[in-house]
Homo-oligomer: A and B are copies of this chain.
């Protein structure tokens, strides 16, 4: 903790002082029953890196995180959530007071329609799980947007750019960070990422493969130019 404190003090560029930055990270879990759940490959590394970088640059950071195995950076506020519904509530409760929302969590799009309170017994038959849509956090929040800069992520495996551009419009985002999670050294669980940054005017900028901490600083640079 002392090492982290010194690291933070030594970081020279304090260009985010006074900014309240809300960052989401990790996957969510959608319970089928008390034992089984649906989740995704997100490990939280990207969001945690952004939280650390923003803290070092002087921002007031709140990290809303799904279940991960990472230790969150010190000297920030951490809110632990489990499901997409928890995540929605945690973000919307805090959105009004933030200046920037960076939504790097991989929030589940669907949850089981019904959660069984006891472990579903297996049978020889096939099984159907009915899924229903979770609220789209960025879409829901766009009505409340005033001064906030809102940055989304698009983890795609195909038509990365096309899907990202659609998302910007639909959710009224300022930027979207698109990455092709089917590429090696990019996306879930890796320590590096290859991203494209797309702004609301449709400008696209490609970046080389970088560490997630370098990607974090690149994203935060958008807030100070």
Contacts and interface: CB of A to CB of B under 8 A. Distances in A.
A34 B181 contact: yes
Nearest to A108: B36
B130 A35 contact: no
A136 B41 CA distance: 26
B126 A34 contact: no
A163 B119 CA distance: 12
Interface in A131-167: 131-133, 155-158, 163
A130 B126 contact: yes
A187 to B, nearest CB: 9
A38 interface: yes
Given A119-B156, A126-B132, A32 B37 contact: no
A38 B34 contact: no
A183 to B, nearest CB: 11
Contacts of A122: 109-110, 133
A181 B124 contact: no
B157 A35 contact: yes
A133 to B, nearest CB: 6
Contacts of A69: 69
Chain A interface SS verdict (over half) = loop
B34 A37 contact: no
B130 A128 contact: yes
A41 to B, nearest CB: 6
Nearest to A129: B129
Interface in A177-197: 181-182, 188
A127 B118 contact: no
A158 to B, nearest CB: 5
A4 B116 CA distance: 42
Interface of A: 32-41, 69, 106, 108-110, 113, 118-119, 121-122, 124-133, 155-158, 163, 181-182, 188
19 contacts: A33-B157, A36-B108, A38-B38, A39-B39, A69-B69, A113-B126, A118-B157, A118-B158, A119-B156, A119-B181, A121-B163, A122-B133, A126-B131, A127-B130, A127-B131, A127-B132, A128-B128, A128-B129, A129-B129
